[in-house]
Amino acid sequence: MSSNLVEMSPNELCEVTKKPTLVAARPTITVREALRLMAIHNFLSLPIYSHNSDNIVTIVNIVDILNYIIKEAVADEKLPSSINSEKARNLDSQIEAVMTLDADQESYRIFITDANESIKDTLKAFSKGIHRSLVIDYNNKIPPYILTQSDIIKYVQAHPECLPTIDFKSSLRSLGLFKERKLITGYDYETALNVYRRMAEYRLTGIAIINSEQELVGNLSASDLRGLSYESIDSLVLPVLKFLGTLSNFENLLNPLAVTPESSLEEVLNIITVNRIHRVWIIDDKRNVKDVITLTNLTTFFIQQ
How do strand 56-61 and strand 279-283 relate by DSSP bridges?
unpaired
pLDDT at res. 64: 82
Break the chain into its structural domains and give their ranges: 5-162, 185-303
Q: Are 122 and 111 in contact (CB under 8 A)?
A: yes
pLDDT at res. 256: 92
Q: Are 131 and 108 in contact (CB under 8 A)?
A: no
> Is 99 a residue whose pLDDT tops 80?
no
pLDDT at res. 233: 84
Average pLDDT, the chain: 88
d(CA 170, CA 153): 17
pLDDT at res. 77: 56
d(CA 182, CA 290): 7
> Is 66 a residue whose pLDDT tops 60?
yes
> Is 82 a residue whose pLDDT tops 90?
no
| Identity of the residue numbered 295 | L
Q: Which CATH superfamily is domain 5-162 in?
A: CBS-domain (3.10.580.10)
d(CA 135, CA 93): 29
Q: What percent of the chain has pLDDT over 70?
A: 92
Mean pLDDT along residues 252-268: 94
The correct answer on CATH 3.10.580.10 for the domain covering 185-303 is: yes
Domains 5-162 and 185-303 share a fold: yes
Mean pLDDT along residues 48-68: 85
Mean pLDDT lowest for which of 143-147, 256-260, 283-287? 143-147
pLDDT at res. 81: 73
Contact partners, residue 281, CB within 8 Å, separation at least 6: 208, 216, 219, 256, 257, 258, 259, 289, 291, 292
Mean pLDDT lowest for which of 47-51, 178-182, 226-230, 290-294? 226-230
> Is 84 a residue whose pLDDT tops 50?
yes
pLDDT at res. 106: 47
